[in-house]
Structure 1
Amino acid sequence: MRLASSLCHHVSPLLGLRWELRGREHLERDRACIIVANHQSSLDILGMFELWPVMDKCTVVAKKEIFYAWPVGLAAWLCGLIFIDRMNSQSARSVINDATQEIKTNKIKLWIFPEGTRHNTGEIHPFKKGAFHVAIRSQLPILPVVFSSYYFLSAEEKRFDSGRILVTTLPPISTEGLSTKDVEELMQKTRSAMSEVLQATNSEIQLSLAR
């Protein structure tokens, strides 16, 4: 992934995209954790590549359909992505559970998009519970990452302009001592914190554009 990051690092400038990272100290710590991030478009991948030199050891949970989209799927497999069947929750849980011990042992960060589906609407949509079950079962902290809205991108208008994206890493949310009955509360706490940051960073960017 670090190699892929170094190769793809030049794509964003060509597209006119500027990624600005805040809360770097939370992301660069050498520890295992469950990263949860808002999911807006395929551009999220470019944002992740910008963060890889900071995260160092990280892998991603991705839908299994990506594996069959070669050569991208082959590259993703070689990079160590964890492929799950989103239509089979039992199988998905089993795959992630099998990977959890290695993640803890080798201090690898596990990146999950809890919304599941991409939504470039300027808000964070309801989360699925999978990431939070994994965090609680493994007693690993949740590390929220928020990408500001892609205001420069519109599928309806077929518009893709240059733009600035603020990427904010929030302080980790501990799962120590929590059980499965705490999943809902943990999920809502995380989403609330991320939504607040998204609104703030969106407002900041809109204000800078108006100047």
Structure 2
Amino acid sequence: MGCVCEMIGLACILALILSFSSKAPYQLKMATFMIGSGAIVLICIPLMIFRPRDYRNAFIPAWGCRQLCKALGVTMEVRGLENIRTKHGAVVLINHQSFLDLCGLAYLWPVIGRATVVSKKEVLFFPFFGFGAWLWGTLFINRSSKKDSINTLQKESRAIQERNCKLLFFPEGTRNTKETLLPFKKGPFHIALQSQCPIQPVVISKYYFLNGEKKSFRPGHAIIYILPEIHTAGSGVEDMDNIIQNTRNTMDIEYKKLSQEIRRRGH
């Protein structure tokens, strides 16, 4: 426990120092975030271990992550809460920019309902964080085996129907810092059509405060917008391409709109 406290203390001290300087080394700020988030998860493991694979386990780490982000000068606001429906499951699609998307998930988790994040299997082996993610129900898929990935997702599609779960995907499949979204993978849409559940698009504005190429990590703000559901009831595989295109276009338009707003506000 002493080691954990030291890690958290170090991360908090670094975060407070760095939050006052826009010229602080990029690597140091990222290290602060990674060490801090790992320490938060580690200290929460004894509380989570008694109810493994339960989405509620993420509430306390999510709170800690939000505080860490604020200490680093990063704030987020959630819009579109009126578009959330908790009486049925959904496939939730979120654009993917960087490791800081963990902050976005920390803001979404308390409001989105019974949720499970779908992540690549490699995340399971991240120190502390991987085990914590398993405890709060993250679904790890093996991308190198398409068959295994499909089988795993098909099993989870039943949870959408039976337990009103929401599966959270990053449909671009990789990190993207461009001004437009990348093409979407078909996996999440297979699940939505198979379970006949709606698609819930979620868009996070561009992180103008974060630039990996220039090694810049300034204080900043982001907007998370939960868009209205896109219904798939009555649709089949033959409709998939149109649904993918419609979903991506809807999210891309909102991504550009929110990003322009953030830029005008100087974030």
- Same fold judged by TM-score > 0.5? yes
Structure 1 gap ranges (5+)? none
Higher relative contact order (CA 8 A, sep 6+): 1
RMSD of Structure 2 on Structure 1 (CA): 1.3
Contact kept? 1:28, 1:54, Cα under 8 Å:
no
Structure 2 gap ranges (5+)? 1-57
SS at match of 1:143: strand
Aligned match for 1:21, one of 64, 78, 83: 78
Q: Normalising by the residue count of structure 1, what TM-score does the alignment of the two structures yield?
A: 0.95
Q: Normalising by the residue count of structure 2, what TM-score does the alignment of the two structures yield?
A: 0.76
* Cα distance, 1:201 vs structure 2: 0.9
Matches within 5 A, 1:140-151: 140-151=197-208
- Confirm whether residue 110 of structure 1 aligns to residue 167 of structure 2: yes
Aligned match for 2:150, one of 69, 83, 93: 93
SS at match of 1:10: helix
For 1:102, give the aligned amino acid. Answer: A
Aligned match for 2:196, one of 139, 146, 154: 139
- Confirm whether residue 127 of structure 1 aligns to residue 184 of structure 2: yes
Matches within 5 A, 1:3-18: 3-18=60-75
Give the whole-Å Cα distance in 2 for the aligned partners of 1:44 and 1:25. Answer: 22
* Cα distance, 1:18 vs structure 2: 1.4
Give the whole-Å Cα distance in 2 for the aligned partners of 1:27 and 1:70. Answer: 33
Look up the match of 1:205. 262
Look up the match of 1:191. 248
* Cα distance, 1:28 vs structure 2: 5.5
CA 1:54/1:192 → structure 2, altered by over 3 Å: closer, same or farther? same
Give the whole-Å Cα distance in 1 for the aligned partners of 2:187 and 2:202. Answer: 17
Larger Rg: 1 or 2? 2
For 1:132, give the aligned amino acid. Answer: F
Give the whole-Å Cα distance in 1 for the aligned partners of 2:147 and 2:96. Answer: 23
For 1:7, give the aligned amino acid. Answer: G
Greater fraction helix: 2
Contact kept? 2:160, 2:195, Cα under 8 Å:
no
Deviations 1:100-139 (A, max 9, x none): 2123211111100010000111221001100011100000
SS at match of 1:2: helix
Deviations 1:149-169 (A, max 9, x none): 001111111110111101111
Look up the match of 2:224. 167
For 1:108, give the aligned amino acid. Answer: C
Deviations 1:30-71 (A, max 9, x none): 421000011000111111111111113111100001112221
